[in-house]
């Protein structure tokens, strides 16, 4: 059985190696996505706040920009930004617009309404303005959108399985008593306990030669990083293979529904009864009622979404129910015509499955514990790369050895 798992681990590792290398390298940069893009492009990420002037609301800015982009819909409005940050908007092509949009993300000065930059998010042909978004696309979809997400989702599922196989292979094999005399003298010989023998797998024999050092780095590195590797693997399934992740989690843990049962309209609702300003007012009121009923504190509002296909608004805030203030997922959904509340979502404390999922996603994206976690996740990217490289080197060495044995037999 152990040898069977060795073979499975070998070929799963080889299948995953190239993709994990790519994910490790790109993930190291993505952990500092906002910081790196601000460093590279302060001209459209930062603004100088005028003295004694308040920022224009994001909803008002969206209304002002609608005239400039008549073929686009401002369905996602970011409601929270620092005083010296530009406001970003993601644009969606209106139904019937067969040509699409030349730009789907724009940056605006929130004090003057001045357009600072526009880009087709992730299109590397537009130059350095899309370098970080392109790395993001590589990391999450191989820059192949739905096809890439499916491929990475399946690979993430295999990675999850391989995490357990790899951990099993580090466990010490059972010791066999070879003689009655050895059994009789066992108390005097004091053989290693199971845990003491396993401890060898956690260490690196730095003086054992290059092959042993490489093997120990792979085995010990996998053990020391195992918990976070499993977090990355299973959360990647959550990101890219939702049809597998949520049914599995749903059989083990409770989960909230959030609008899944709301049917799509026969025709998109392009002119809802509530405009963005009225929707924002309604969302604030509903969220305030929810916070009083469920006894949580609201830190700041985050986003306002409009789904024309279902005719609903979703108002999202960061609250004490979120795993951190950087992870805003407390939400209320309501009818875009009547303002009737349709669904609520509490990231933690309402359903165990949702709480676990929120923690997994927050750990994966370094949205908890501030800068130390960002550094750790960035370093983990290098760790994933190292484990992949050492694994391939182990396979090459053993392959060479097997080839040499065959040659000797033939001789």
405/411 Cα distance (integer angstroms):
10
Tokens at residue 346, please?
């509490």
318/297 Cα distance (integer angstroms):
9
Residues 249-282 have pLDDT tens digits of 999 999 998 999 999 999 999 999 999 999 999 9
- At residue 175, the pLDDT reads 61
Neighbours of 242 (CB within 10 A): 12
* 3-class SS of residue 302: strand
313 in Cβ contact with 304 (< 8 Å):
yes
- At residue 191, the pLDDT reads 53
- At residue 96, the pLDDT reads 79
In the predicted model, residues of the chain with pLDDT beneath 70 are 175-192
203/223 Cα distance (integer angstroms):
10
159 in Cβ contact with 19 (< 8 Å):
no
- At residue 189, the pLDDT reads 46
Please name every residue paired with 300 in a beta bridge, in sequence order, or none if there are none: 318
Nearest CA to 64 among 324, 337, 277, 371?
A: 277
106/199 Cα distance (integer angstroms):
54
Nearest CA to 157 among 258, 250, 19?
A: 19
Please name every residue paired with 306 in a beta bridge, in sequence order, or none if there are none: 313
- At residue 256, the pLDDT reads 94
- At residue 100, the pLDDT reads 86
- DSSP letter for 320, please: T
Give the domain ranges of the chain.
1-31+143-172+194-255+364-411, 33-141, 259-350
* 3-class SS of residue 47: coil
């Amino acid at each position: 059985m152990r040898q069977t798992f060795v073979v499975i681990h070998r070929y799963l590792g080889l299948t995953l190696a190239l993709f994990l290398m790519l994910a490790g390298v790109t993930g190291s940069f993505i952990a500092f996505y906002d910081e790196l893009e601000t460093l590279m492009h302060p001209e459209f990420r930062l603004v100088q706040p005028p003295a004694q002037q308040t920022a224009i609301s994001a909803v008002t800015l969206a209304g002002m920009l609608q005239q400039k982009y008549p073929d686009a819909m401002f369905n996602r409005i970011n409601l929270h930004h620092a005083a010296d940050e530009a406001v970003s908007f993601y644009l969606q092509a209106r139904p019937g617009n067969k040509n699409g949009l030349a730009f789907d993300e724009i940056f605006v000065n929130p004090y003057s309404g001045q357009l600072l930059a526009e880009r087709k998010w992730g299109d590397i042909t537009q130059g350095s303005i899309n370098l970080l978004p392109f790395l993001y696309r590589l990391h999450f979809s191989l820059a192949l959108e739905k096809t890439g997400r499916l491929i990475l989702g399946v690979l993430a599922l295999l990675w999850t399985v391989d995490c357990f196989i790899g951990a099993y292979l580090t466990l010490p094999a059972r010791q066999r008593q070879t003689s009655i005399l050895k059994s009789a003298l066992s108390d005097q010989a004091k053989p290693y306990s199971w845990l003491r023998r396993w401890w060898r797998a956690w260490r690196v024999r730095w003086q054992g030669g290059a092959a042993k050092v490489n093997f120990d780095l792979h085995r010990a590195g996998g053990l020391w990083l195992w918990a976070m590797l499993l977090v990355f693997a299973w959360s990647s399934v959550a990101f890219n293979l939702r049809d597998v992740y949520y049914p599995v989690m749903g059989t083990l843990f409770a989960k909230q529904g959030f609008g899944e049962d709301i049917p799509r309209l026969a025709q998109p609702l392009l002119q809802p009864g509530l405009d963005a300003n009225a929707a924002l007012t309604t969302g604030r009121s509903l969220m305030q009622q929810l916070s009083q009923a469920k006894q949580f504190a609201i830190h700041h509002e985050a986003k306002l979404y409009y789904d024309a296909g279902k005719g609903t608004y979703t108002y999202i805030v960061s609250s004490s129910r979120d795993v951190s203030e950087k992870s805003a997922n407390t939400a209320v959904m309501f009818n875009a015509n009547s303002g009737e509340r349709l669904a609520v979502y509490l990231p933690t404390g309402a359903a165990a499955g949702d709480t676990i999922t929120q923690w997994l996603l927050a750990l994966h994206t370094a949205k908890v514990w501030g800068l130390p976690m960002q550094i750790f996740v960035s370093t983990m990217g290098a760790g994933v790369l190292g484990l992949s490289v050492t694994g391939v080197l182990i396979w090459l060495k053993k392959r060479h050895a097997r080839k040499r044995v065959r040659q000797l037999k033939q001789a």
